[in-house]
Chains A and B, each alone.
Chain A
Amino acid sequence: MSPELLAFPFLIIAIFFESFVLVTLLSSPARAARARSSNTPAISVAVIVPCYNEASTVAETCESLLALDYPKELLEIILVDDGSTDATPAAMLRLKDHPQVRIISKENGGKHTALNAGMASTNAEIIGCLDADSFVEPDALKEIIPCFADPKVAAVTAAMSVHQPKNFLQHMQNAEYIFGITLRHTLASINGLYVTPGPFSFYRHSTIKEIGDFRDGHQTEDMEMALRIQQAGYGIENAPRARVYTKAPLTLGVLVKQRTRWTSGFLRNVLGEYRGLIGNRWNDALGVLVLPTALLAVVSGILIFSSSLVTFTINTIQALQIRAGVPLTYIFSAPKPFDWFYLPTNFFMFLGATTLLVSLGLIVVGKRISKTPGNLTLGLISYTLLYSFIVPLWLIRATVDVTIGKHRHWR
C-alpha cells in the first residue's frame, strides 16, 4: 500500500481532532477557564522537588519556588534527595536554613518514592511537584490554586515551555511544548487529560490519600497517577497561565531516550492496568476521544514513517539505477525556474499541509493563551522541518520495547 493511501484515514482523523480542539477551545468551559481569576484562597501548599543527581540545577529551581508570589506561611518547599551520587546533597545543604525549605534524604528508590517521601512528611492540603530541572514564574502558584475550587478537581497542571532553548532541537521541543499548552488547556475543559507532568503539577492531598501514593507506573509516575485519578472519577484541571520552564534534551539521543520512556509508559499503562478507560462512556472525552486518538497517533506515526521509508528507499535505488553513469552533479544541479505547472497537486499532500498549518496555528494560540515570552519563529520552523521525521524514532523504539517486554533504565 502506498504511504499516501495509508496516510489518508490518519490525516482525516488528525484534522478531525484538531477541529475538535479548536471548537472546544471556543466553548464555554475553556473560555471560563481562561477568565478564571488568580485570587489566592488561604490554603496550605507543599511543593516537592525530587532530586537525583541534580546538583547543577536544584538551587536555581528552589530559588524560583522561593520567589513565588504566595503567602510564605502557607508555602512549604520539600527537597527530596533520592540517593544522589553527585554534589546534590551539598547543593541542598546550602538551602537548609531557609524557613520555607525542608530537606529529606533517602536511599535511591526512584522518583515516585521521592514524591511519596515528601508527601508523607507534610499535612499541606495541596501537594505540588516540580522537577529539579524546572523553573516557575512568580505568579504560577496563584494561577494554579483557584482551579481547586471545584471539589471534584484532584489535580491541576501548568503551562510548560522550554527553558532558554539553545539549538534547533530545543526550539522544536519548545514549539511542541507550547502546542501542549493549547491541548492541555482545551482537553482539561472537558476533563480529557491523562498526564500530570512532573514540572509543576499539583494534587489535592486528601484525594491522593484516598486513591494511594505514587507508583512507578512503568517509569511514568505522572501518567499513572493521572490515569488513576481519572479512573476514580475525579477531574484534572489546567491553569494555562501558570508558566513553568523546563530544561529540554539538547541532543537527539537524549530526546529519543526520554520520549521512548514516555511513550512506552503510555502504552504500558493505557493498554495494561488502565485499559478499561478506553471507550468508557462516563468520561467520553478521555475514553472515546483522547486515548483512542493518542493510540492511533502511535500506530499512524509508525505505519506512515515505515511505509514512506520503504518507498523512499525504493525510489532512491531506482533513481540510482536510472543514473547509469550520469554524473551526480547533474542530479543535484540547479533546478529550473519555478513553474506552477509542475506543482504536485496531491490530495494527501494538501491534507497533510492543512494538518500542519492548523498545528502551527494551535502553537501560536498556546503562546498567546499562556502569555509565554520569547520568539517562536525558530520553534515553528524547526517544528515544521523536524518534528514529523523524528517522532517515529521513539514511537518505533517504544513500541518494540513494549512488544518484546524490554525495560530500559531511566537515564
Chain B
Amino acid sequence: MSLVARNALIALGITIVLAATVAYAVTYLNNARVAELTAIEDQLSIDTLSLDTQFSLLETAPCESATSSTILSSELSDLGDKLSYAENQLGKNNEQVVRLKKQYSLLEIRDYLITKRLAAACGTKPVTVLYFYSNAGDCADCDKAGYALSYLHTTYPALRVYSFDYTLNLGALKTLIAVTKVQNTLPAFVINDKHFYGFTSLADLEKQFPKGALSTTTPSR
C-alpha cells in the first residue's frame, strides 16, 4: 500500500472518530438541555402549588400581605423564554414540550385569577393582557404580535402578559377561552377585559391599552 493510501485510510479513521465525537457532544448537550427542561417542569409544579397556597391564604386577608402581587416574576418569564426556545428546537409536538406548555398555561391562568382577585379586593389597577396565538401555521401575524408584546413587556415590566396557545388541549384553557369569550381569530388580545383581534403594528396595539398604562412607573404590581 502506498504512503498516500495508508495516510488516507488513517485520515478517514480520524474523520469518523471526529465526526462521532461531535455527534456525541451535540447529543450530550441536547440531553443536558432536556434535563434542564425537567428541572423547569419541577419548578412549574412548585410554582403552581405555591400559587394555589397563596390564593388560599389571600382569601382570608387579601391586602395584608407585603406582596399584594403574585409570583409571576422575571424568573417565570425566563421559564417562558426557555419553553419557547425548547419548542423551537424540539418541535411543537414534542411530548415534553406539550406537557410543559400545559403546566405553564395553568400557572399563568392561576396567576391571572389571583391578580384579578387582588385588584378587586385591594383596589389596584394592574394592566393584564391575555394573548392568544397559534403556531400551527394558521396565524400569519402571531410572530409579529408576540415580538411586539415581548417589546412592551421588556419596556414596561409592570404589564402582566399571559400568552396562551389557543390550540393547546387543556381543559382549564378551554374554560378560560369560553369565559372570556375569545373567538378563534388570531392573534387575539384581551387587554383589561377588552377584546382586540388581529395585529397590524405596534402603534395600533398600543392604542388598545388604557390611557397611562404604558408607563414605566405603572404601579400595578
A residues whose Cβ falls under 8 Å from a Cβ of B: 12, 15-17, 19-20, 22-24, 27, 29, 190, 284-285, 288-289, 321-327, 330, 333, 341-343, 345-347, 350-351, 354
> 21 interchain pairs (CB within 8 A)?
A15-B14, A19-B12, A20-B8, A22-B11, A23-B11, A23-B14, A24-B3, A27-B3, A284-B5, A323-B144, A325-B148, A325-B203, A326-B147, A330-B151, A341-B36, A341-B85, A345-B30, A345-B33, A347-B26, A350-B22, A350-B25
Minimal Cβ-Cβ distance residue in B for A186:
B7
Report whether over half of chain B's contact residues are helix, strand or loop; otherwise say mixed: helix
A29 touches which of B3, B22, B26 (Cβ 8 Å)? B3
Measured between C-beta atoms, what is the minimum distance from B5 to chain A in Å? 7
Minimal Cβ-Cβ distance residue in A for B85:
A342
Measured between C-beta atoms, what is the minimum distance from A159 to chain B in Å? 22
**Could you tell me if A285 and B4 are in contact, using CB atoms closer than 8 angstroms?**
yes
Measured between C-beta atoms, what is the minimum distance from B85 to chain A in Å? 6
Contact with A along B60-73 (1 / 0, CB 8 A): 00000000000000
Q: Which B residues are in CB contact (< 8 Å) with A321?
A: 144
Q: Which B residues are in CB contact (< 8 Å) with A284?
A: 2, 4-5
Give the complex CA separation of A12 and B33 in angstroms.
26
Residue from B85, B154, B202, B203 having most chain A Cβ neighbours under 10 A: B202
Q: Which B residues are in CB contact (< 8 Å) with A324?
A: 144, 147-148, 199-202
Asked if A15 meets B19 with Cβ closer than 8 Å, knowing A289-B4, A341-B36, the reply is yes
Q: Is B15 an interface residue (CB 8 A)?
A: yes
Give the complex CA separation of A326 and B82 in angstroms.
22
Measured between C-beta atoms, what is the minimum distance from B137 to chain A in Å? 15
Q: Is B29 an interface residue (CB 8 A)?
A: yes
B15 touches which of A16, A27, A190, A346 (Cβ 8 Å)? A16
Minimal Cβ-Cβ distance residue in B for A346:
B26
Q: Which B residues are in CB contact (< 8 Å) with A285?
A: 4
Give the complex CA separation of A299 and B200 in angstroms.
43
Q: Which A residues are in CB contact (< 8 Å) with B12?
A: 16, 19
Contact with A along B61-105 (1 / 0, CB 8 A): 000000000000000000000100100000000000000000000
**Could you tell me if A24 and B7 are in contact, using CB atoms closer than 8 angstroms?**
yes
B residues whose Cβ falls under 8 Å from a Cβ of A: 2-5, 7-8, 10-12, 14-15, 18-19, 22-23, 25-26, 29-30, 33, 36, 82, 85, 143-144, 147-148, 151, 154-155, 199-203
Measured between C-beta atoms, what is the minimum distance from A346 to chain B in Å? 7
**Could you tell me if B15 and A12 are in contact, using CB atoms closer than 8 angstroms?**
yes
Q: Which A residues are in CB contact (< 8 Å) with B23?
A: 347
Measured between C-beta atoms, what is the minimum distance from B19 to chain A in Å? 7
**Could you tell me if A343 and B29 are in contact, using CB atoms closer than 8 angstroms?**
yes
**Could you tell me if B3 and A354 are in contact, using CB atoms closer than 8 angstroms?**
no
**Could you tell me if B33 and A341 are in contact, using CB atoms closer than 8 angstroms?**
yes
Measured between C-beta atoms, what is the minimum distance from B65 to chain A in Å? 30
Q: Which A residues are in CB contact (< 8 Å) with B36?
A: 341
**Could you tell me if B7 and A23 are in contact, using CB atoms closer than 8 angstroms?**
yes
B201 touches which of A325, A345, A347, A354 (Cβ 8 Å)? A325
Residue from B4, B23, B199, B200 having most chain A Cβ neighbours under 10 A: B4
**Could you tell me if A23 and B33 are in contact, using CB atoms closer than 8 angstroms?**
no
**Could you tell me if B3 and A322 are in contact, using CB atoms closer than 8 angstroms?**
no
Q: Which A residues are in CB contact (< 8 Å) with B200?
A: 324
**Could you tell me if B18 and A289 are in contact, using CB atoms closer than 8 angstroms?**
no
Q: Which A residues are in CB contact (< 8 Å) with B19?
A: 12, 15, 351
Give the complex CA separation of A326 and B203 in angstroms.
9
**Could you tell me if B18 and A354 are in contact, using CB atoms closer than 8 angstroms?**
yes
**Could you tell me if A19 and B151 are in contact, using CB atoms closer than 8 angstroms?**
no
**Could you tell me if B3 and A190 are in contact, using CB atoms closer than 8 angstroms?**
yes
Minimal Cβ-Cβ distance residue in B for A13:
B15
Give the complex CA separation of A193 and B14 in angstroms.
23
Measured between C-beta atoms, what is the minimum distance from A33 to chain B in Å? 13
Measured between C-beta atoms, what is the minimum distance from B89 to chain A in Å? 9
Give the complex CA separation of A322 and B11 in angstroms.
46
**Could you tell me if B18 and A19 are in contact, using CB atoms closer than 8 angstroms?**
yes
Q: Which B residues are in CB contact (< 8 Å) with A350?
A: 22, 25-26
Give the complex CA separation of A231 and B77 in angstroms.
68
Residue from A12, A322, A354 having most chain B Cβ neighbours under 10 A: A322
**Could you tell me if B147 and A322 are in contact, using CB atoms closer than 8 angstroms?**
yes
**Could you tell me if B14 and A19 are in contact, using CB atoms closer than 8 angstroms?**
yes
Measured between C-beta atoms, what is the minimum distance from B78 to chain A in Å? 8
Other CB < 8 Å A-B pairs besides A22-B14, A27-B3, A351-B22, 10 of them? A15-B18, A17-B11, A20-B8, A285-B4, A323-B147, A330-B154, A343-B29, A345-B29, A345-B30, A350-B22
Residue from A321, A327, A347 having most chain B Cβ neighbours under 10 A: A347
Residue from A288, A325, A351 having most chain B Cβ neighbours under 10 A: A325
Measured between C-beta atoms, what is the minimum distance from A327 to chain B in Å? 8
Measured between C-beta atoms, what is the minimum distance from B115 to chain A in Å? 25
Give the complex CA separation of A333 and B210 in angstroms.
27
Minimal Cβ-Cβ distance residue in B for A286:
B4
Q: Which B residues are in CB contact (< 8 Å) with A12?
A: 15, 19
**Could you tell me if B202 and A325 are in contact, using CB atoms closer than 8 angstroms?**
yes
